[in-house]
Amino acid sequence: MLVVGLTGGIGAGKSTLAALLIERGAHVIDADALGRDALRPGRPAWHSVVDQFGDEILVMNSMEIDRARLASVVFADRAKLAALNAIVHPVILGAVAEHLEKLRNSDATVVLDAALIIETGLDDVVDVLVVVTAPEGDRRRRLIRERNMSIDDIAARMAAQTRTEELVARADIVASNAGSLEDLAREADRVWAELEKRAGR
């Protein structure tokens, strides 16, 4: 099994590259999906988050956590972000460990798609670190268009993440998402060929 960490700043196109790598044969573990699952109503982390942040983070007349509202609260206050991470990150890391254990004796190329690989120490468990980059202007436009995020929200999210330059300095492979989807598909081909080589295939 080859364990690949896939990361990049918000809006860089990390999940798009992950989807392209699935098409080429990768098994992807989506940390964001694991985080959403951890916050489903009734889960232990859900109780902890609601206790910490109050009922105002719930969708009106629902037990669902309003992720956009929660994000606006925590990304405006580093202490609150740290409190949320202290609840959710151990659950995500445990789920990642379970997925990896199931695949331990396989010859799979497992891609861990996670925004905070370095911040959570997951870079210590991956064999290869792939970082996706994109011009900051492209990232901002993408987040406004696709996620309907405000300029202030985008700035807060970017400020909370490791700078792209630092990610690139730690990367084994850098994939550029500075062009079209076809350009990114070519980058996916290049990345996949390098991963296959590292896996000895």
Q: What is the pTM of this model?
A: 0.91
Q: What is the pLDDT of residues 48-99, one digit of tens each?
A: 999 999 999 999 989 999 998 999 899 889 999 999 999 999 999 999 999 9
Average the pLDDT over 172-197 and give the result.
96
Lowest mean pLDDT, pick from 10-24, 38-52, 151-165: 151-165
Strand order in the sheet with 27-30: 27-30, 109-113, 2-8, 128-133, 173-176
- Residue 37 pLDDT: 95
**Which of these, 35, 118, 114, lies nearest to 70 by C-alpha position?**
35
Looking at every residue in the chain, the average pLDDT score rounds to 94
- Residue 119 pLDDT: 86
- Residue 1 pLDDT: 94
Instruction: Report the percentage of the chain scoring pLDDT > 70.
Output: 100
- Residue 176 pLDDT: 96
Task: Indicate whether 160 pLDDT > 90.
Answer: no
- Residue 110 pLDDT: 96
- Residue 3 pLDDT: 96
Average the pLDDT over 166-176 and give the result.
96
- Residue 76 pLDDT: 87
Average the pLDDT over 137-164 and give the result.
91
Average the pLDDT over 41-46 and give the result.
95
Q: What is the pLDDT of residues 92-136, one digit of tens each?
A: 999 999 999 999 889 999 999 998 898 888 888 899 999 999 999
